Every structure is written in C-alpha cells, then in structure tokens.
Amino acid sequence: MIITPIGTDTIRRLLAAIGPVPAPPSAPVDKEPFAHAVQAITELQAALFRAGIVLPSVAIDFPATASGCPLVRLGSARADIVRTLAVLITKGAERHDRPDA
C-alpha cells in the first residue's frame, strides 16, 4: 500500500469542516502547568480505556514549550490501534457536526 501525504489544502478543508474546537474546561492556566499535563494524560487514558485503546507511551515531554506548558507525547502504537483511534475520532467528529446529536 502506498501512503500519500495529505496536502495543505486538504488539511485546511478538513479543519474548516470540523470547525472550531472548544477548549476543555480544564484548559491549562499559568498555574501548575505540570499538574495540568498530568490531568490531561489521565483524562486521555481514561477516555481511551473506555474505547478499549491503550497508548503505552503517553508521557510528559520535557522541556516545556516557551509558554512554560509541558507538551504531552502520545508515543507509538500499532497500526491497528491507530486505525481504531481514527475511526473513533471520525465518529465523534461526525456526531459533533450533526445538529440532532
């Protein structure tokens, strides 16, 4: 199978179709960025667990960005896990796009 990179125009169209994503209520503030990163990882792992997905390499990536907020490294996963994750994200995005959902 040949994988073709996604072009910039395609990415722009996808982002336009998805629309703005609201910030989660626990979005990091300037206080305790490490604690916010740990909380974000915990929330992600819980959501993935509910979907039967485990990303074993999720971790805080140091050093923090210039803003002082640590990055979260999602790590590596098998191709079948990534495909399952893509399907779940697509279903969630489709449900978000429907006004009756």
Higher pLDDT, 24 or 76: 76
**Three-class HEC string of 8-43:** HHHHHHHHHHHCCCCCCCCCCCCCCHHHHHHHHHHH
- Asked if residue 56 lies in contact with residue 73, where contact means CB atoms within 8 angstroms, the answer is no
Q: What is the number of other CB atoms lying within 10 angstroms of the CB of residue 40?
A: 18
Q: What is the number of other CB atoms lying within 10 angstroms of the CB of residue 37?
A: 19
Q: Average of pLDDT values for 72-84?
A: 90
Q: What is the pLDDT of residues 36-70, one digit of tens each?
A: 888 999 999 998 888 888 888 898 887 666 777 78
Mean pLDDT estimate for the chain: 76
Encoding tokens for residue 72? 């979260």
pTM of the model: 0.59
Q: What is the pLDDT of residues 9-31, one digit of tens each?
A: 666 666 666 666 555 555 544 45
